[in-house]
Amino acid sequence: MSASSIEALKSKFGEAILDTVEFRGEHTAIVEKARAKEILAHCRDELSYDYLLDISSLDNFGEEPRWEMVYELYTLGNGEYTHLRIKFKLGEDEKADSVSQLWPTAEWHEREVYDMMGIEFEGLTDHRRILMWEGFPYFPLRKDFPLAGRPSEMPDVAFSDRAPLAGGPFVTSPTSDSTVHREPRSREMD
């Protein structure tokens, strides 16, 4: 069904569908930012993608546009479970349109994207941080956020220094030992 959804989107939105990708049975439509909300509404209302699984973002640090927004949609209709991914690019100083009017659960996803990446959403009514504490001055999933962390003004509440594991941030230790020894470790930084 997602292949037919891609064709329906191409037919309805024409050049606003910039590209499509099929990989391992999953279908993705890369769309114009200006029409993304309209396309997402069409997916919900006309193509029955009634379930928003996730909203995430990619940081293409050093490229312009820097951000890529990713919307994972799912339909539960007709006894078929179908997945569709919608993507669009966003400049560093641009805001994405909130889709919380389409899917109320989008508010949580949008708050998380803001909290971790700093991408703002036009029309989002609640801009409180959701994972980091209010007043935290950084966005930890940006590629320009150092893996070793940054010093914290609130060391009693939380730290943003290197995680207290043996070894380097998210580096696995190659070994034939058990899983415990292969887990990511925090390497000592020079």
Tell me what the mean pLDDT of segment 160-188 comes to.
53
Q: Which residues of 158-189 are buried (b: 16+ CB within 10 A; e: fewer)?
A: eebebeeeeebbeeeeeeeeeeeeeeebbbee
The yes-or-no verdict on residue 54 having pLDDT over 50 is yes
User: Are residues 148 and 163 in contact, defined by beta-carbon separation less than 8 angstroms?
Assistant: no
Give the CA distances from residue 73 to residues 27, 44, 140, 183, in Å, rounded to whole numbers and listed in that order. Answer: 11, 9, 26, 32
Give the residue, 63 or 136, on which the prediction is more confident.
Answer: 63
Q: What are phi and psi of 52, to 5 degrees?
A: -90, 110
At residue 167 the predicted structure's pLDDT band, cuts being 50, 70 and 90, is very low
Task: Express each pLDDT in 100-122 by its tens digit.
Answer: 999 999 999 999 999 999 999 99
The yes-or-no verdict on residue 159 having pLDDT over 80 is no
At residue 64 the predicted structure's pLDDT band, cuts being 50, 70 and 90, is very high
Give the closest residue to 40 by CA, choosing from 79, 3, 12. Answer: 12
Give the closest residue to 49 by CA, choosing from 15, 2, 112. Answer: 2
CATH 3.30.460.80 domain extents, the chain = 2-145
Q: Give yes or no for a cis peptide into 104 (omega within 30° of 0).
A: no
At residue 44 the predicted structure's pLDDT band, cuts being 50, 70 and 90, is very high
Secondary structure (DSSP) of 118-150: ---EET-S----SSSPTT----TTSTTS-TTB-
CATH of domain 2-145: 3.30.460.80
Q: What is the value of pTM for the model shown?
A: 0.79
Tell me what the mean pLDDT of segment 164-181 comes to.
56
